[in-house]
Chain A
Amino acid sequence: MKITLAKGLNMGLRKAMEDNPKVLMMGEDVGKLGGVFRITDGLQKDFGEDRVIDSPLAESGIVGTAVGMAMRGYRPVVEIQFDGFVYPAYDQIVCQVAKINYRSQGRVPMPIVIRIPYGGGIGAVEHHSESPEAQFAHTPGLKVVSCSNPVDGYWMIQQAIASDDPVIFLEPKRQYHADKAELDEDATPDPLHASRVIRQGTDLTLIAYGPMVKTSLKAAEAAATEGRSIEVIDLRTLSPLDMGPVLDSVRRTGRAVITHEAHVNLGMGSEVAARITEQCFYSLEAPVLRVGGFDTPYPPSRVEEEWLPDLDRVLDAVDRSLAF
């Protein structure tokens, strides 16, 4: 069956609800409407209003009540409607969700999934195109993942729901309805916290996640026409990082470029670059380069395609690395 990312997530959520009656959905417009991106489409109709809950418009309330439901033995999956709206819930996420297992010495786990459509490129107004992943990856106690394609969407959402730890689940919204891929529901998926080499190469390691995976694959294709062999890695998990495949690759290629839509300053790329430097120092032929959003607020949408790292900016960094 060929599915979009939106469909993969929807199917994964449905499967999780079928498998475990303790799984609940909550968020703004997730019920009757099926979510503003239709990711929860049809779930309330089939599982009822007690399990697919339209919430008041209060993000801290959504996450805070999810904490209570988790304490009662439920596995809440909450939707934050857009990335920039997560901040009213930031205190509950960082001070409660992330810390209750620790505070309770493991007696009170927090099996909560916080789904956040993130990233730009949809021509939206302010607060609808942001990439807040580093804010959560910086917080001990949270796990942070991002899917990049329909098949991963289907499996990773189920794995996140099955996790006894809280997971910030980042969905590249621009990809929701972009591409289709073949789903084999009988396949054995990779673990949730595993990075994956998605294109092999020998000259440079290009590291991406979420919305930049597609761009990175295109960059590798373009570079190949000029005789350059780029290895592409989809990180998939941002906390914990799975550095094994990255380090292994960089030891072979000697060069690394990491790209994300989020601001470069103190972004995921900074951490990945530091770890590569610490652990592959003698393999490196060039400094690790980062390509990301500029260190400004997300701009008005008429210039967002210039602001977002695109094929050319990724290739520019590839060229600079190879020329070093």
Chain B
Amino acid sequence: MTHQAEFGPDLAEVFGPSHQVRHDSGGPELVQLLTPEGERVEHPEFSFDLDDEAVRGFYRDMVLTRRIDTEATALQRHGELGIWAQLLGQEAAQIGAGRAMRTQDFAFPTYREHGVAWCKGVDPLNLLGLFRGVDQGGWDPNDNNFGLYTIVIGAQTLHATGYAMGMQRDGAVGTGDPERDSAVIAHFGDGASSQGDVNEAFIFAASYNAPVVFFCQNNQWAISEPIERQTRIPLYQRALGFGFPGLRVDGNDVLATYAVTKAALDRARDGQGPTFVEAYTYRMGAHTTTDDPTRYRLSDDVEHWKLKDPIARVEVYLKRNGLADDDFFAGVQQEAAELGAHLREGCKALPDPTPLQGFEHVYAEMTEELAAQRDGYADYLASFEGEGH
């Protein structure tokens, strides 16, 4: 069964092959700088301008991010987390986007941006609180310029746009000062592209020329729904209708994702407005640990994408070109093991909130009526003391 057969006539037949929603290869417009086989290729518009040290750094970031993911998945299987949203296969998209940011840039994540959180310096242990059920956001967004995970699909794209409008009003855009000029990345997925909020965010950002990069990880699946259910043209082409540029990058190529995102951020910081980046990737795991993808997609598809693994291609590139030795790879593995231990031990040590803590922070200052309700509940709880409960 082809996806196209299920979803009606192929617009590519009318408008040409570049209008095909799903390309096995990502299509001719895909920006790629490192092939799945680990070969460096050049692109007429985008180039990777960092040194080998940076590539080794990206490799390390991706390995550690994957370790966060596998460790958290294991913690869920052991009953330590209620649920986990896996990013397996999307490491390059997230590390490329995350490392393209400057300190002063602000990222608005969905609930799957564990790799971006890593790049922004959030302790991955803090990501687990939400999934363990001990909090609903365990870090201060202002510490690392990394927003709280947002579960309502696409809602954060409007927050990102508003935050970018605030940057404009702070005079933090287009001054030419690299320490001052700032931008925002709004993360979302292919499913979110159907949400009204995302489309409104595009409109507001375009209207005010806001310094925001709309970074869409098109991982082909919104739980069980394939990309063809969300769109009849490649997502990046939608940007044109909103009045700003759209690009499709190989989201499994960390070098290309970095280069394209950096160019988009530079443009935003410079005051030239929003850009849509479609990182063409694949959700190799389940939607979350509660999902069963075998019910809706073919294992052939997954096997096909395994050949495009974002980490393997960098490893091949580094080894083939003699850019990293065995000690380097062993060192990264050692770090991953330590990170895993940190998460295992730290997760179990996360303190449960008390029932009365749930009354805190509903308001900046607790209202009298809520305080009365809390006190009444405290008295009720106290009435059981000494009864062996």
Whether A105 contacts B137 in the complex (CB less than 8 A), given A68-B165, A165-B365, comes out as yes
Q: Say how far A301's CB is from chain B's closest CB, in angstroms.
A: 30
Give the number of A-B contacts (CB < 8 Å): 136
The secondary-structure label for the interface of chain B is: helix
Seen from chain A, the residues whose Cβ lies within 8 Å of a Cβ on chain B are 24, 50-51, 55-56, 58, 60-61, 63-74, 76, 88, 91-92, 95-96, 100-109, 140-141, 143, 163-165, 193, 240-241, 243
16 extra interface residue pairs, beta carbon distance < 8 Å, beyond A64-B159, A72-B166, A74-B169: A24-B169, A60-B196, A61-B201, A63-B158, A65-B161, A67-B158, A67-B162, A68-B163, A69-B162, A102-B361, A104-B137, A105-B360, A106-B364, A108-B142, A109-B364, A243-B369
**In the complex the two chains form, what is the Cα distance from A186 to B145 in whole Å?**
42
What are 17 residue pairs bridging A and B, where the CB atoms are less than 8 Å apart in the complex?
A50-B169, A58-B204, A61-B201, A61-B204, A64-B155, A65-B159, A65-B162, A66-B162, A91-B155, A92-B197, A96-B155, A96-B159, A105-B360, A108-B141, A143-B363, A164-B364, A243-B369
A71 cross-chain contacts in B, Cβ below 8 A: 141, 147, 159, 162-163, 166
B204 cross-chain contacts in A, Cβ below 8 A: 55-56, 58, 61, 65
Whether A60 contacts B200 in the complex (CB less than 8 A), given A92-B155, A102-B136, comes out as yes
**In the complex the two chains form, what is the Cα distance from A64 to B136 in whole Å?**
19
Is B363's CB under 8 angstroms from A141's CB? yes
Q: Say how far A274's CB is from chain B's closest CB, in angstroms.
A: 13
Q: Say how far A156's CB is from chain B's closest CB, in angstroms.
A: 17
Q: Contacting B148 at CB < 8 Å: which of A74, A88, A108?
A: A108
**In the complex the two chains form, what is the Cα distance from A50 to B360 in whole Å?**
35
Task: Give the bracket for the number of chain B residues in contact with chain A.
Answer: 35 or more
Is B152's CB under 8 angstroms from A95's CB? yes
**In the complex the two chains form, what is the Cα distance from A64 to B203 in whole Å?**
12
Whether A60 contacts B137 in the complex (CB less than 8 A), given A101-B361, A104-B148, A105-B360, comes out as no
**In the complex the two chains form, what is the Cα distance from A65 to B198 in whole Å?**
11
Q: Contacting B142 at CB < 8 Å: which of A58, A60, A64, A107?
A: A107
Is A240's CB under 8 angstroms from B370's CB? yes
B196 cross-chain contacts in A, Cβ below 8 A: 60, 88
Q: Which residue of A lies closest to B159 (CB)?
A: A68
Q: Which residue of A lies closest to B184 (CB)?
A: A68
- The interface bits of chain B over 156-176 (1 if a CB of A lies within 8 angstroms of the residue's CB, else 0) are 011111111111111000000
